Copies of this chain bind each other. A is one copy, B any other.
Amino acid sequence: MSDMELYEGPLNVKEIFGRWLDEEAESNYGAYIPFVGTIRAEDGIEALSFDIYEPVLRNWFDAWQAKAAERGARVKMAHSVGDVPVHTSSYVAAVFSPRRRVALELIEEFVEDFKANAPIWKYDVVEGRRIYAEDRSTPMEGAGVLADAKLGMRNEE
């Protein structure tokens, strides 16, 4: 199985954590840091729901794997597609590294870059309806390129 896993609905966090531990049991890594993201009960939501554009996510992940490898480390991730009820988990990201410093630095960079640039869209589920979480979403790196392209064209007219 690839180091990037997508699942319909909530993640089986224990199975994922344990399997990743076993996969790297003989890899001689000294530090394993998973980040587990769980849906909080707030604002009366029943669940969050996710759309993912997998091809771009896979390219983003593969670039991260190469970046981690340069530092002797390895990353893994799992994410849900579709509805994930409150108090269940939609996201696990993990770093394995020989040493603790690199692991602590990478898990922070990996999780923050994921939040900013992974092509995933989040919706609140309220009374069975999906509402795009616009106020919590952020434009990806390179956003606005179409507006810039239009401007460039206008200047040439």
Decide if the interface of chain A is mainly helix, strand, loop or mixed: mixed
Complex Cα spacing A21 to B33, Å: 15
A107 within 8 Å of B (CB atoms): yes
Residues of chain B lying within 8 A (CB to CB) of residue A55: none
A30 within 8 Å of B (CB atoms): yes
Contact A108 B98 (CB under 8 A): no
A40 within 8 Å of B (CB atoms): yes
Copies of this chain, whole number: 2
A111 within 8 Å of B (CB atoms): yes
The count of chain A contact residues (Cβ–Cβ below 8 Å) is 32
Contact B26 A37 (CB under 8 A): no
Contact A33 B36 (CB under 8 A): yes
Q: Which of A2-10, A12-20, A122-130, A138-146 contacts B (4 or more CB under 8 A)?
A: A12-20
A24: nearest residue on chain B (CB-CB)? B38
Contact A34 B37 (CB under 8 A): no
